[in-house]
């Protein structure tokens, strides 16, 4: 799947969440709440990486890690969109800067 297709899918899921949040809570999550959710996912991901390296017992760690990585990617895409950042352009620019430093 192309990166733009991933972005479209992530934003479609976000739109579904907005409807769900509005129906159940009266309002959609703010950017701050989305960022806090992302931080929670990063924490879960870190624990699963520790488990993958044999320092913690978590049954099904590999599958759970795949899920958390996908959740983190979704959050990054949604946060970039909410802050009007073209993530593809930002990523390519950042990689270009890093490559220049490494040469």
For residue 86, being part of any structural domain is answered with yes
Q: How far apart are CA 89 and CA 103, in angstroms?
A: 21
- What is the number of structural domains in the chain? 1
State the DSSP H helix or E strand holding residue 28, giving kind and residue range, or none if neither. none
Query: According to the 3-state scheme, what is the secondary structure of 30-90?
Result: CHHHHHHHHHHHHHHHHHHHHHHCCCCCCCCHHHHHHHHHHHHHHHHHHHHHHCCCCHHHH
Mean pLDDT of 52-60: 95
State the pLDDT at residue 1.
76
Quick check: is 18 in a domain? no
pTM over 0.75: yes
Domain with 72 in it: what CATH number? Answer: 1.10.287.1080
Residue-wise pLDDT for 64-74, tens only, equals 999 999 999 99
Question: Quick one: how far is CA 90 from the chain centroid?
Answer: 15
């Amino acid at each position: 799947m192309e990166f733009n297709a991933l972005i479209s899918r992530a934003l479609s899921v976000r739109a579904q969440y907005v409807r769900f949040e509005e129906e159940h809570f009266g309002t959609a999550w703010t950017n701050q709440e989305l960022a806090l959710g992302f931080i929670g996912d990063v924490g879960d991901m870190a624990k699963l990486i520790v488990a993958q390296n044999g320092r913690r017992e978590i049954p099904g760690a590999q599958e759970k890690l795949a899920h958390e990585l996908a959740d983190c990617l979704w959050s990054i895409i949604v946060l970039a969109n909410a802050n009007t950042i073209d993530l593809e352009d930002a990523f390519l620019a950042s990689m270009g800067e890093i490559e220049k430093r490494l040469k």
